[in-house]
């Protein structure tokens, strides 16, 4: 097992035509909006009550708990996004707001370290009695992640102290030792959070607890069954939740991946966000403990997810019921669930895999999800969001009960507000996904205009990227060690790219000769001011799905660079499935500064059919009369920004 | 409004290579099996308890009610099928069984005429308090239908008496008169049943009550709302059903078509069986009362159903949730609900429309449903059944929660056993769908080997068909009036048929010159022994769907005569959507006596693709390598008789 070190978001400055827009939206729109939401200051949105819950738990206000059982995590996710945001743009007023919120959290924390407003307010005697449903470790995990981020950015330890007290408390509750519950999370998240806490504090108890959760999961007899029996005995019923909520959990151990010990899991199953958060935690523990069998499980699950169960957009989880993985090759386009958060979780996991096994395939998936299935979750003005990211939409059909989860128009906020803050923290921490370093190698994973400083071969090396990626093919990478020396700069050659070319200081360098696991590894004597020019040709590609994906038979998807395209009704008229594209049709890419805040569009000629006459029959022997039409495809991530209409990724090919 | 008279099943003797097999199955398999089911004598099936419920209600056994709230109707449907069956094949033992069952029903009937075991046993004080959910008039409707059929076949009046007493009782409960409830059925069925009772007895009260139900439906304020409020007041809760059952009913007036007065309904909505049973009742009332506005509503709804919401198989109701109609052109193939009973109900309705408006389009739909979406509900051995009739199946995908209603293998029996007995009564009464008569015209609607006697132009006319339809193109129709005379024999030229040819006694008769609303109407001096030879050319047709049916874009269905074809995995290998058929590929039809009990199969060459190499990627730039394959298509109705596998009606065309 190789281990490569990440480069923190803190040490990367992003100045990128594509991403700076998104990062500014998060800073200027999402984080302030979210703060108002948490404080119930948004008129036409469902109440959140999240801050008030903390006030009530702190004994500073009268009232009852309101919201989901995991409402606390919304505050934590906001704090985490704020932490990343402050690293990029200091903002004393925002930091003050965060500090005050942290103080409130401190006051709501119980003397024994426990911190969860639902139980403190409503059911102090039911703590840790229903890990399957109750999200206590889930909320703790998000709080820990926020604490580590806030500490990393600001150096302040108050929230980190709160998190440590909470983690210490959980360590007294769960574990293999006599007197502790042999449980593990019902919604995985704390596993990876504890690893971050371990990294931040060096306290091995957190590593040990995380590893315990992972090792214990799925052992027989199943903890959730034992816990349910005990609950029924103690409280006379199995769950505090209405039956409708917990039918997914009840007796369904695949739902939360506790059906088997994690090392025996062969296929990704169950709730997709739970799954990828867990896989990320498993990868962290495998890396830290050099646990080969755990890493093998991670690789097996990676192959299953990315080679059998992933949409071309980087979306995962094709089942609405359970927000869950389905089975191999079952990737329907119109009923896809593909939660924004699941794609984000896939990035978290891929990022960890990449550091354990520096292979471009992991960074390829990060790129696929970044430019497609994650940012599709947010409108171009940062004001509305998708939870669900389908690949084909007929707005009228969203009335169908089996498509009611598909929204043709982004929503302002959600009752269950996981996706917007998750996107905020991803985009605000984007700097952390661009570079890595090992002793002798500086890695460039993503092509995003940015600066950083690494330590390679005993030198401080400054890397600086300039690019108009993903629209332009060219990346200029300046490599400046503080003193000259031999080391390797490994730049990723994306899986979609053929004919990549590299020059160093104007001299061609063979990509082929230097290619290793998806990276062109250029080893030479580097000196300050060296310029690497990377050209990644971006012809419009026609991509086909594996024949096992039955719904995509005879269809083609258009992709240029990492960007997957789609047709929208506003450009192409209604009944998009009627459009078919000749195998040989010429297609043209053109950057349009005024379309969708500036995107490259693809245009070309395709064929449509028509039935002559007015009130046409439902079935007829006659074929439609075909005629040529101009089509325009736009990047998938930018769909649904011009009103409701049909959308289609997979186009019929003729 | 024209009115044409039907010819009863009683007066038609069927001897048809295609249908006699089915009718024997109903007689030899379905009816006996159903009797055993009703008596809980089938080991591995869910208990029915239906007969026992009647015994308990009659005070002859101890015990509690068990089963659905509409469990009684299973006994009525059995009796109705038995009645039709006895007309074709006298069977004293079976008739004795039926008589004994009728006696039991009589003993279970209450002094005031009420007859419903659920309420008599469990909730005698809650009669008529929840028409929305409780199926009291639905069960009564089926009992009435059975009574009329049993009376028609056997001349025995005991069950008819029971039915009249029950109908008379209902007439005291519901109506516009002071002191009656202004309600109407929650599951329509009694409307058409009352019309049959009126026809059998001549008692106008039944016509009046049926018309009242139809006229009152959907008036404001909505009765179901008033009734629910009253219930909540009286019993402290809205329904006896678990919430999960009645979420479909609650506040959803479209579900049972009470959202609007029936004359204002423009689109078929809600539960498909309820809808078509109601439309059939509306058509009956329109015919009997010459109610033009009601007939206009029927025609409008007919157009909506058959021109916007009907599958090529004659299946209707594309939504699983609510077993319901969707919206125009929303006809997904893989999640289709298309309940067997709904197609049967469509036939009931079409049959009535045809008698009000003798237009071949109604008989075309009957034919479409008969040869495709109804009998697909039963296995070729008569021992297992489909409730749901999808047009595309990938068995593995039936694990998906949104496809869990789709079964890839027929089931032996259902808890909710509506479809098998409904199929039994349709097939057993098939004789009633073949001929009609008006003063001067003898109609031949369906090509089914059979004999009948009509009264036309003051003559007894014997009609006799010999045919191997739907496999052969030729029908020999002998027309024998008891004395020579001029009248018209109108034979249907099916909508799918081009180039039909007719000879009378070997002399060609122009179809074109005699064609009127889908019938070749041959007016001449007929005499005993005249032979009409009808040739309906049956080339293999390629049928296309209206472009608005997005899921069928670029696809073709194969049809020969009225029979729609499908591909099955057992003949064509897995991944059926990968198969594409050239627009110009030659296709061959061949009768195979040993395939699927003898069907005409279609063979030809098509194209499949393959990705070379072993562990193929999920997405790739390379196209599959195409190669030619032989395909075999079988009649859709005969699918799923050779084990579980993929099935596909709409094939990609290239």
Provide ipTM, 2 decimals: 0.93
Confidence of residue A614 (pLDDT cuts 50, 70, 90): low
Which of chain B's residues have a Cβ under 8 Å away from the Cβ of A547? 575, 578, 609-611, 624
Residue A350 to residue A344: CA distance in whole angstroms:
10
* Helix pair A204-216, A190-201: axis angle to 10 deg: 160
Q: Do B624 and A549 touch (CB under 8 A)?
A: no
Q: Name the closest residue on chain A to residue B614, using Cα atoms.
A: A546
Q: What is the full DSSP assignment across A178-243?
A: TTSB----SS--HHHHHHHHHHHH--HHHHHHHHHHHHHTTPSSPHHHHHHHHHHHHHSSS-SS-H
The whole-number average pLDDT for the span A389-400 is 94
Residue B21 to residue A448: CA distance in whole angstroms:
71
What's the average pLDDT block by block, 10 residues per block, for chain B (654 residues)? 89 97 96 92 84 97 93 96 96 98 98 97 94 95 98 98 98 97 97 98 98 97 93 79 60 92 97 98 97 98 97 96 94 95 98 97 98 96 92 94 89 73 95 97 98 96 98 98 97 97 98 97 97 98 95 97 98 96 96 97 94 81 88 98 97 95
Which of chain B's residues have a Cβ under 8 Å away from the Cβ of A583? 623
CA–CA distances in Å: residue B275 to residues A412, B144, B245, B288, B346: 38, 19, 19, 20, 9
| Nearest-neighbour CA in chain B from A271: distance (Å) | 13
Residue A586: how many other CB atoms lie within 10 Å: 9
Q: Is B258 on the interface with A (CB under 8 A)?
A: no
The gap from C-alpha B522 to its chain's centroid, in whole angstroms, comes to: 31
Question: Which ranges in A381-529 belong to alpha helices (H)?
Answer: 419-428, 511-514
- Nearest 10 degrees: Cα torsion A354, A355, A358, A360: 30
Q: What is the full DSSP assignment across A346-409?
A: HHHHHHHHHHHS--HHHHHHHHHIIIIIIGGGB-TTSS-B-SB--SEE-GGGGGSGGGTT--SS
- Nearest 10 degrees: Cα torsion A633, A637, A642, A645: 70
Summary mean pLDDT of chain A: 94
**Is the CB of residue B475 less than 8 Å from the CB of residue B447?**
yes
Residue A204 has a pLDDT of 98
Which of chain A's residues have a Cβ under 8 Å away from the Cβ of B652? 553-554
> How is residue B603 written in tokens?
């063979």
SS3 A70: coil
Q: Name which of A324, A497, A618, A654 to mutate to probe chain B: the one with the most chain B Cβ atoms within 10 A of its Cβ.
A: A618
Q: Which of B418, B419, B497, B566 is catalytic?
A: B418
**Is the CB of residue B378 less than 8 Å from the CB of residue B25?**
yes
Q: Is A321 on the interface with B (CB under 8 A)?
A: yes
Catalytic residue status for B418: yes
Residue B250 has a pLDDT of 66
| Nearest-neighbour CA in chain B from A617: distance (Å) | 6
First to last CA, chain B: 47
Residue B196 to residue A432: CA distance in whole angstroms:
77
Written out in words, the top-level CATH class of the domain with range A435-535 is mainly beta
CA–CA distances in Å: residue A124 to residues A115, A162, B242: 11, 19, 32
Q: Do A551 and B577 touch (CB under 8 A)?
A: yes
Q: Do B621 and A543 touch (CB under 8 A)?
A: yes
**Is the CB of residue A20 less than 8 Å from the CB of residue A443?**
no
The whole-number average pLDDT for the span A482-507 is 97
A240 pLDDT more than 80: no
A144 pLDDT more than 80: yes
Is the bond leading into A54 cis (omega within 30 degrees of zero)? no
Closest CA to A441 of A405, A493, A486: A486
> How is residue B373 annotated by DSSP?
I
Which of chain A's residues have a Cβ under 8 Å away from the Cβ of B617? 307, 546
Q: Do A578 and B547 touch (CB under 8 A)?
A: yes
Q: Name the closest residue on chain B to residue A310, using Cα atoms.
A: B618
Which of chain A's residues have a Cβ under 8 Å away from the Cβ of B319? 400-402
Q: Is A77 on the interface with B (CB under 8 A)?
A: no
Radius of gyration of chain B from its Cα atoms, rounded to whole angstroms: 25
Q: Which of B80, B152, B323, B367 is catalytic?
A: B323
Beta bridge partners of B314: none
**Is the CB of residue A534 less than 8 Å from the CB of residue A491?**
yes
**Is the CB of residue B183 less than 8 Å from the CB of residue B190?**
no
Residue B232 has a pLDDT of 86
Residue A385 to residue A339: CA distance in whole angstroms:
11
Closest CA to A162 of A108, A122, A120, A119: A108
Q: Do B621 and A547 touch (CB under 8 A)?
A: no
The whole-number average pLDDT for the span A332-348 is 96
| Nearest-neighbour CA in chain A from B247: distance (Å) | 12
Residue A367 has a pLDDT of 98
Residue B416 has a pLDDT of 61
Residue B498 to residue B1: CA distance in whole angstroms:
29
Cβ neighbors of A152 (< 8 A, separation 6 or more) are A8, A10, A83, A87, A200
A605 pLDDT more than 70: yes
Per residue in A172-225, pLDDT (tens digit) is 999 999 999 999 999 999 999 999 999 999 999 999 999 999 999 999 999 999
Angle at A155 between CA A151 and CA A157, to 5 degrees: 60
Catalytically active residues of A, by annotation: 323, 418
By 3-state DSSP, what share of chain B in percent is helix, strand and coil, each rounded to 5? 40, 20, 40
Confidence of residue A413 (pLDDT cuts 50, 70, 90): low
CA–CA distances in Å: residue B119 to residues B102, B104, B126, B134, B245: 19, 17, 7, 9, 18
Residue with tokens 């594209």, as numbered in its chain: A581
Confidence of residue A401 (pLDDT cuts 50, 70, 90): confident
A252 pLDDT more than 90: no
Which of chain A's residues have a Cβ under 8 Å away from the Cβ of B624? 544, 547
A-facing residues of B in 579-598 (CB < 8 A) are 580, 583
What φ, ψ does residue A541 adopt, rounded to 5°?
A: -105, 145
Q: Name the closest residue on chain A to residue B326, using Cα atoms.
A: A400
Q: Is A176 on the interface with B (CB under 8 A)?
A: no
Residue B112: how many other CB atoms lie within 10 Å: 13
| Nearest-neighbour CA in chain B from A480: distance (Å) | 37
Question: Which ranges in A456-557 belong to alpha helices (H)?
Answer: 511-514
Residue A124 to residue A233: CA distance in whole angstroms:
18
Contacts across the A-B interface (CB distance below 8 Å): 143
B-facing residues of A in 378-397 (CB < 8 A) are 394, 396-397
| Nearest-neighbour CA in chain B from A623: distance (Å) | 6
> How is residue B644 annotated by DSSP?
S
Residue A86 has a pLDDT of 97
Closest CA to B184 of B211, B145, B148, B144: B211
Task: Count Cα atoms within 13 angstroms, Cβ side, for A181.
Answer: 20
Which of chain B's residues have a Cβ under 8 Å away from the Cβ of A576? 550
What φ, ψ does residue A290 adopt, rounded to 5°?
A: 50, 45
Q: How many helices (H) and strands (E) does chain B have?
A: 20, 24
Which of chain B's residues have a Cβ under 8 Å away from the Cβ of A399? 326-327
Q: Structural domain boundaries of chain B?
A: 435-535, 540-653
**Is the CB of residue B297 less than 8 Å from the CB of residue B282?**
yes
A-facing residues of B in 202-241 (CB < 8 A) are none
Pairing between strand B599-610 and B625-635?
antiparallel
Q: What is the full DSSP assignment across A33-50?
A: HHHHHHTT--TTS----H
Residue A376 to residue A190: CA distance in whole angstroms:
27
Q: Is B572 on the interface with A (CB under 8 A)?
A: no
């Amino acid at each position: 097992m190789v281990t490569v070190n990440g480069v923190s978001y803190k040490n990367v400055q992003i100045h990128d035509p594509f991403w700076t827009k998104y990062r500014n939206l998060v800073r200027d729109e999402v984080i302030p909006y979210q703060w108002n939401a948490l404080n119930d200051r948004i008129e036409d949105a469902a109440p959140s009550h999240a801050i008030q819950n903390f006030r009530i738990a702190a004994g500073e206000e009268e009232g009852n708990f309101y919201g989901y059982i995991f409402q606390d995590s919304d505050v934590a996710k906001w704090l985490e996004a704020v932490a990343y945001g402050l690293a990029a743009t200091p903002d004393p007023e925002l930091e003050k707001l965060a500090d005050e919120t942290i103080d409130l959290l401190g006051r709501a924390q119980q003397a024994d370290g426990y911190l969860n407003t639902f139980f403190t307010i409503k059911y102090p005697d039911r703590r840790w009695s229903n890990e399957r449903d109750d999200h206590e470790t889930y909320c703790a995990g998000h709080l820990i992640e926020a604490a580590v981020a806030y500490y990393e950015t600001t150096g302040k330890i108050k929230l980190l102290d709160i998190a440590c007290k909470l983690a210490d408390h959980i360590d007294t509750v769960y574990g293999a030792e006599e007197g502790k519950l042999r449980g593990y999370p019902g919604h995985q998240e704390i596993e990876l959070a504890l690893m971050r806490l371990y990294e931040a504090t060096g306290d091995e108890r957190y590593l040990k607890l995380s590893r315990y959760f992972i090792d214990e999961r799925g052992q027989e007899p199943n903890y959730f069954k034992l816990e349910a029996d005990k609950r029924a005995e103690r409280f006379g019923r199995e769950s505090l939740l209405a039956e409708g909520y917990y039918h997914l959990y009840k007796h369904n151990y695949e739902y939360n991946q506790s059906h088997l010990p994690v090392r025996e899991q062969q296929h990704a199953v169950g709730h997709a966000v739970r799954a990828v958060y867990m896989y990320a935690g498993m990868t962290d523990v495998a890396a830290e403990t050099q646990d080969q069998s755990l890493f093998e499980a991670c690789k097996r699950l990676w192959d299953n997810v990315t080679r059998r169960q992933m949409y071309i957009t980087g979306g995962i989880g094709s089942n609405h019921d359970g927000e869950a993985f389905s089975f191999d090759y079952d990737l329907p386009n119109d009923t896809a669930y593909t939660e924004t958060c699941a794609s984000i979780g896939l990035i978290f996991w891929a990022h960890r895999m990449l550091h354990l096994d520096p292979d471009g395939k992991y960074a390829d998936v990060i790129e696929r999800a970044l430019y497609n299935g994650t940012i599709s979750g947010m409108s171009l003005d940062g004001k509305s969001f998708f939870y669900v990211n389908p690949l084909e939409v007929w707005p009228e059909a969203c009335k169908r009960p089996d498509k009611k989860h598909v929204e043709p128009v982004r929503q302002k906020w959600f009752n269950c507000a996981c996706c917007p803050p998750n996107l905020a923290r991803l985009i605000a921490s984007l700097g952390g996904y661009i570079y890595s370093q090992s002793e002798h190698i500086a890695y460039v994973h993503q092509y995003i205009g940015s600066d950083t400083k690494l330590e390679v071969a005993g030198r401080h090396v400054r890397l600086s990227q300039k690019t108009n990626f993903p629209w332009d093919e060219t990346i200029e990478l300046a490599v400046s060690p503080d003193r000259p020396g031999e080391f390797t700069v490994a730049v990723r050659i994306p899986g979609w790219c053929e004919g990549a070319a590299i020059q160093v200081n104007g001299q061609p360098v063979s990509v082929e000769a230097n290619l290793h696991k998806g990276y062109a590894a250029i080893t030479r004597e580097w000196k300050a001011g060296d310029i690497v020019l990377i050209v990644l040709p971006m012809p419009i590609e026609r991509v086909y799905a594996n024949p096992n994906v039955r719904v995509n038979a005879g269809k083609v998807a258009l992709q240029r660079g990492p960007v997957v395209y789609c047709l929208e009704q506003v450009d192409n008229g209604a009944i998009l499935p009627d459009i078919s594209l000749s195998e040989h049709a010429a297609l043209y890419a053109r950057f349009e500064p005024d379309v969708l805040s500036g995107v490259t569009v693809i245009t070309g000629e395709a064929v449509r059919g028509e039935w002559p006459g007015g009130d046409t029959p439902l079935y007829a022997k006659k074929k439609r009369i075909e005629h040529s039409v101009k089509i325009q495809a736009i990047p998938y991530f930018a769909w649904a920004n011009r009103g409701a209409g049909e959308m289609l990724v997979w186009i019929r090919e003729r």
